Structure 1
Amino acid sequence: MTTEQLLSWPAPSRSRGREPADPRFADGTAWIDGKLVPVAEATLPLLDWGFLRSDACQETISAWDGLLFRLDDHLDRFWRSLERLRMASPLSREEVRGVVHSLIAAAGYDNAYVQIIMTRGRPPIGSRDIRLCANRFQAFCIPYVWIATPEVQQRGLHVHVGSRHRVPAASVDPMVKHYHWLDFELGLLEAFDNGAETVVLTDGHGNVLEGPGFNIFVRQGDRLLTPRTGMLDGMTRRTVMEICADAGIQVEETDVPVEALLAADEAFLTTTAGGVLPVTSVGGRAIRNGPGPFTAQIHAAYWQRRADGWHGEPVDYAAASAILAAE
């Protein structure tokens, strides 16, 4: 198959294969205060420190063709974040698993994007004692999200290297999947101003780290480089490293200077919202091979393995019935 053919699969398909449990769930679902509600009705208390102070963590989980991908790994990482933030979940791990299934089942989606969230909650009014907060769990489900359209995936993304730096690991632990995104948001605006579609931020020492919702890989000859510290250990990043190990492709976790990205033979992004996405240019400079053979091979392997059920858990489409009946 050609590079173009490998990158064209799978074509983004319809999200819903079943009717929603309630017509109000057609656009998505949410879990708020122990109840399933339409995503448009999901709310967060104004005084929750998750909103006021970005004191929260999350996991983004995808389903494709009715199979949840790496759900146990996502739950492991969610509980790691809770421990590092010294939060306690009001739901057990298996209860959270049930919520994920119920959200997708109620919407009737085959292809879904689910986010599970823990916020700090709030202390009594007038207090700033973080120990008095009751942590709050909530979640939502919407149709599967793509960072890039099929057309952009075919020709590759235009990436901008931001002038600002990622929040340093000494300040905010990057191994917690958090919402400290103002650096990303402002970096995106800078990227748009420069005609690019997304941004990658650096560590302040000339090394690229990550972008809004993705990790990055750079090809040098017959090996791939990916940042080793200062970024989230992304689930798709982990998947790509497993695919490369099986394919005999060397991956080196190391410092990746901006110059290495600019001189790359290939570059691609890894994200739950799209899998493996090729990069065509950085800072207006064309990547040598554009969407190249390594990218195409790994992209195709990623989606083939998902289609084969690798790390997959079938969505329990009966999961929402009991919850809705009890409401």
Structure 2
Amino acid sequence: MRSTAVSPQSVQTTETAQVNEFRSQELTMQKRDEADVPVLSVSEVIDKLRERFGGCSKQPYPAMYSSIFGGITTDPTMMVIPIDDHMVHRGHGVFDTAMIIDGYLYELDSHLDRFLRSASKAKVIPPFDRSSVRSILLQTVAASQCRKGSLRYWLSAGPGDFLLSPAGCPNSAFYAIVIEDDYSPSSQGVTVITSSTPMKSPEMATMKNVNYLPNVLSKMEAEEKGAFAAIWIDDQDYIAEGPNVNVAFISKNNELLLPSFDKILSGCTAKRLLAVAATLVEQGLLKNIRVGNITLDEGKGAAEMMLVGSGLPILPVTGWDGKPIGNGKEGPLTLALSKLLWEDMIAGPASLRIPIRYGKAN
């Protein structure tokens, strides 16, 4: 493990600066006389919500399912969850995402299997069996009429109270929402930094739970420094993952390298990358494929680097901590892998692309 000596004075100076920055931000916040806060009727609340969400010419969230009301809504005003849901105030919940591409759900079953594994680790029992959950997801996308975007879904300990234990929650809760987006790959390279935000323990990192504050802070740190993402290094100085992406490298010997999944999230897209990359091995463009421990020096000294995730699916990395990866340009093998993976997403095996039966629009 690395250790750096930090004086109490420097810590105090940093904390003081952070407090002063927060106070300056407070001054810009809107102030309101507490006596002006109205008590609203149900109809007034709904009217205000409709006023807020009804102005968009096209809603970004065309459909939501909630087990709380037992159905699908296409009205954004109704896309809410209870404040006493333990996922909200205790972070007791898990989630996953599947991409919608040209009217198909890509790798739905792989994501659903991981979702249920996460639920088991989080000790949340789903309100429905697997086939029912799958059916609900397909019907939610069908109701949305969305052809391109993503489907995100959550399993929560459920509403009940504001205590720590879920014992007071009568039932778990299941939610799903469709997010419409013009999803397409990018060949434009990005830069990354090494994250100073502590990474999650392996027990938490391998479970796709809703506790994403470390991920958020890591992403914000990257953006504050002009980078796209911050990369975590584990306690043994091996490369781990990004805030919501896996990382992969092309070595100078033309090997595809990915960090071991034993301490990080088992990325469905990253695993699919390993499968499609075999094509480049057969063509002689890649020497081989290896999943294992990768040191920071190995990563920074690689010929190419890429970020891998459902929403990308592959993004070339051209620099790390201000220094170039390889020649500082998008790598040819990275772009070749990106093309292969995208072709798999739009025209791959039928077992990976689940068609949506849309029917008539509402």
What's the TM-score once normalised by structure 1's chain length?
A: 0.82
Deviation at 1:179, TM superposition (A): 1.9
Matched, 1:29 2:63: yes
Paired position in structure 2 for 1:204: 235
Deviation at 1:95, TM superposition (A): 2.1
Paired position in structure 1 for 2:90: 53
In the alignment, which of 293, 296, 300 is matched to residue 262 of structure 1? 300
Q: Indicate the larger mover: 174-183 or 65-74.
A: 174-183
Contact 1:26 1:107 in 2 (8 A): no
Letter in 2 for 1:168: S
Counterparts in 2 of 1:73-222, with a 5 A limit? 73-123=110-160, 125=161, 128-133=164-169, 134-144=171-181, 153-170=186-203, 172=204, 174-220=205-251, 221-222=253-254
Contact 2:93 2:124 in 1 (8 A): no
Paired position in structure 2 for 1:234: 267
Paired position in structure 1 for 2:356: 315
- Provide the secondary structure at the position in 1 that maps to 2:258: strand
In the alignment, which of 188, 208, 223 is matched to residue 255 of structure 2? 223
Letter in 1 for 2:353: G
CA distance in 2, matches of 1:190, 1:26: 27
Between Structure 1 and Structure 2, the one with more strand by share is 1
Contact 1:57 1:179 in 2 (8 A): yes
Q: Give % identity.
A: 23
Gaps of 5+ in 2: 1-56
Gaps of 5+ in 1: 1-22
Q: How many residues align?
A: 292
CA distance in 1, matches of 2:199, 2:88: 21
CA distance in 2, matches of 1:300, 1:53: 41
Change (3 A) 1:24 1:111: closer
Matched, 1:251 2:289: yes
RMSD of equivalent CA atoms: 2.3
Deviation at 1:126, TM superposition (A): 7.0
The structure with the largest alpha-carbon Rg is: 2
In the alignment, which of 276, 285, 288 is matched to residue 314 of structure 2? 276
Contact 1:39 1:141 in 2 (8 A): no
Letter in 1 for 2:65: W
CA distance in 1, matches of 2:78, 2:322: 42
- Provide the secondary structure at the position in 2 that maps to 1:208: coil
Letter in 1 for 2:317: V
Letter in 1 for 2:355: P
- Provide the secondary structure at the position in 2 that maps to 1:267: strand
- Provide the secondary structure at the position in 2 that maps to 1:154: coil
CA distance in 2, matches of 1:121, 1:238: 31
What's the TM-score once normalised by structure 2's chain length?
A: 0.75
Deviation at 1:300, TM superposition (A): 0.6
- Provide the secondary structure at the position in 2 that maps to 1:295: helix
